[in-house]
Structure 1
Amino acid sequence: MRFSGEAESITLLHEKGVVMPVEPTPRRRRLGAELRRIREALGWTQEEAASRLGYQSLSTVSKIENGLQGLRIQQLPHFFEVYGVTDAALREELRDLVRRAGEIDWWQRYEGVVDDPLGDYFSQVENAGALFVFNPLAIYGLLQTPEYARAVTEGSRVWKTPEDIDRFVALRLEHQRAMAERRPPLKLWAVIPEGVLRQEVGGRACMRAQIEHLMHLARTSPSVTIQVLPFSAGAHAGMDGPFMLMSFPAGRDLVCVESLRTSLHLNEPETVELYRTTSDLLKSDALSPKASLPLLATIAKEFS
């Protein structure tokens, strides 16, 4: 994975009228995805959009939408006018993506550990306003204790050396710290299957500490909601596997299907709506947040 530490000024060579390729950073890709969404909602092809924007070739629009060509903040008012973007929150989000397009993110210090898809995930979740997560395999990363995170990383066999394991665990914990300091805080809603809570990841003491950590978050953090999906729920809406549903202050919601080292981002309206329905059904199938606490306490006690 390459990282561009250069200033945004390298993206356009005004004197020669030459547009330079840029690093398709997560923010540039998100900017391009939002502009593509707006264009498609208007029913325009890339060629039609290029003509309306005054570009000679549709390839310019294609490169912008794929994060391969930078935009300057001064260009955005023209895009707003042509695309009819009047929503103030969406305008400010697009401005922020342009301003910060070339910024070095904290996770870029972990070169060799963070691949492009995982970097995209970090960028997305740090900009999200709300996140619903369902994972029948492990407790979600932002809710993990350090001991649980290490046990999951070691157990996955993806990371081969102790040094690689140390770096990935450090990455997880730094992500937690960054999100804990974010203002406004992320509204995190997790539905956790009972089987995940009873799986002895890292041993009994590790699991007891992990469950007690979940109880502490549920009781003390207004931005965290935890529901337990009990065995008695039987077959449920999440049988197809893990996913995350991200909502943003402006722009289209996003579904992320994540594994340990990669993630798939889906933002087609029909797909997002399908996962939104699934999340609602899982909330209905699970115990209420209040009723989940006694079950968490029972399982923690059993690990004593």
Structure 2
Amino acid sequence: MAMSPSVAGWELGLRLRERRELMDVTAVSAGKAIDTSQSYISGIENGKLKINASKLAELATVLEFDEAEIEELQALREAAGKRAWWSPYSAMFSSDMLRYFGFEHGAEGIRAYNAGLISGLLQTKDYALAVMHGGGPSIRLAEANRRVEVRMKRQERLDDKDDPLRFTALIAESALRQQVGGREVMAGQLRHLVDRIERLPDTLDVRIVPFSADYYNALGGSNFYIFGFASSRLPELVWQETITSTDLIDQPMRMREYNLAHDQAMGYALGRTESLGLIEQIRRELE
């Protein structure tokens, strides 16, 4: 699959920042050297601003990249400038959410923890629409349908024949029993979840943390997603969701805490077969 523009821009920025710091060059000095500002250099390094070919060539020369490295950087710049599938929907979402789509699309694997809702990558249209309607009266039906459309497009990564997303979904039992949209919608959602598990045995691992589990650190916390990438140059990222905010986390110490929390919750989760059995049991209770 083609590289996600967001991931390409992020890798480009990381490589520029790593070289600049290695050479002990400040962002101010780098900006002055190519006749631009510190904020522009910072925006490029954070993957939030784009850079044209000539400016990148100037900056790469200042930072003493060799010719082969400059070719790699220019390839990343071109990939970062490509139009993404989510571009037509950009007016509907915040810049942070659009970056999330980009990282999700470009990830090799995702490990998730969901406490109150089924993960968006595993939702049915009816369940997703019920979630959208629950977002408040300000969301009109037309917009809700468009948002559901985006959610369905995001799920295509799971079925990519050449490079499917590897997804480990830790789901609290409460999310299976919360009747989002009513009994019929929830029963359909659980049938869909069973179907997804059975169709994608090699790349989808759904584990349920039962009510019988003892306390674990993620209990009572917010949903979070740990992204892993194919490039050895890229570290893991965490995306955290709360009621009022979202947060993209790349600090090593905080990353470590989320990895430990996910591992701990996995230790309390049922096995693959037992998880599937519990999903089917709750589905039968609803029908």
TM-score, length of structure 2 as denominator length: 0.82
Q: Which residue of 2 aligns with 1:277?
A: 260
2:156 to 168, 177, 194: 177
Deviation, 1:102, is 2.2
Matched, 1:267 2:250: yes
Are the counterparts in 2 of residues 131 and 245 from structure 1 also a CA contact under 8 Å? yes
2: CA distance between counterparts of 1:182 and 1:46?
44
Name the CA shift for 1:289/1:237 in 2 (closer, same or farther; >3 Å): farther
Q: Which residue of 2 aligns with 1:226?
A: 206
Q: Which residue of 1 aligns with 2:223?
A: 242
1: CA distance between counterparts of 2:111 and 2:89?
26
- Post-superposition Cα deviations, 1:63-115, rounded to whole Å, max 9, x if no partner, equal 42243350439957984995889xx9xx96x6553112222222221243122
Cα RMSD between the aligned structures?
Answer: 3.4
- Post-superposition Cα deviations, 1:30-71, rounded to whole Å, max 9, x if no partner, equal 2465236625873845349739x9646772633422433504
- When structure 1 is superposed on structure 2, of 123-132 and 159-168 the one drifting more is 159-168
1: CA distance between counterparts of 2:270 and 2:238?
24
Moved over 4 A (4+): 53-58, 73-85, 259-262
For structure 2, the residue ranges without an aligned partner over 5 or more in a row are none
Name the CA shift for 1:269/1:26 in 2 (closer, same or farther; >3 Å): same
Are the counterparts in 2 of residues 132 and 245 from structure 1 also a CA contact under 8 Å? yes
Deviation, 1:141, is 0.6
- When structure 1 is superposed on structure 2, of 273-282 and 224-233 the one drifting more is 273-282
1: CA distance between counterparts of 2:13 and 2:45?
6
- Post-superposition Cα deviations, 1:241-285, rounded to whole Å, max 9, x if no partner, equal 211000011211100113589632111111111111111111111
Deviation, 1:235, is 1.8
2: CA distance between counterparts of 1:83 and 1:265?
31
Are the counterparts in 2 of residues 153 and 159 from structure 1 also a CA contact under 8 Å? no
Name the CA shift for 1:282/1:127 in 2 (closer, same or farther; >3 Å): same
Matched, 1:144 2:127: no
Which amino acid in 2 is paired with 1:235? Y
- When structure 1 is superposed on structure 2, of 27-36 and 115-124 the one drifting more is 27-36
Alignment of structure 1 residues 109-188 onto 2, 5 Å:
109-157=88-136, 159-177=138-156, 179-181=158-160, 183-188=162-167
Which amino acid in 1 is paired with 2:139? K
- The number of residue pairs the alignment matches comes to 275
- When structure 1 is superposed on structure 2, of 95-104 and 36-45 the one drifting more is 36-45
TM-score, length of structure 1 as denominator length: 0.77
Q: Which residue of 2 aligns with 1:294?
A: 277
2: CA distance between counterparts of 1:263 and 1:80?
37
Which amino acid in 1 is paired with 2:26? Q
Name the CA shift for 1:39/1:163 in 2 (closer, same or farther; >3 Å): same
2: CA distance between counterparts of 1:69 and 1:279?
34
Matched, 1:42 2:25: no
Are the counterparts in 2 of residues 118 and 262 from structure 1 also a CA contact under 8 Å? no
Name the CA shift for 1:248/1:167 in 2 (closer, same or farther; >3 Å): same
Q: Which residue of 2 aligns with 1:64?
A: 44
- When structure 1 is superposed on structure 2, of 65-74 and 221-230 the one drifting more is 65-74
2: CA distance between counterparts of 1:96 and 1:263?
30
For structure 1, the residue ranges without an aligned partner over 5 or more in a row are 1-24
Name the CA shift for 1:155/1:63 in 2 (closer, same or farther; >3 Å): closer
2: CA distance between counterparts of 1:155 and 1:295?
26
Q: Which residue of 2 aligns with 1:108?
A: 87
Are the counterparts in 1 of residues 183 and 286 from structure 2 also a CA contact under 8 Å? yes
Are the counterparts in 2 of residues 131 and 189 from structure 1 also a CA contact under 8 Å? yes
2: CA distance between counterparts of 1:283 and 1:134?
9
Q: Percent identity among equivalent residues?
A: 26
Which amino acid in 1 is paired with 2:282? I
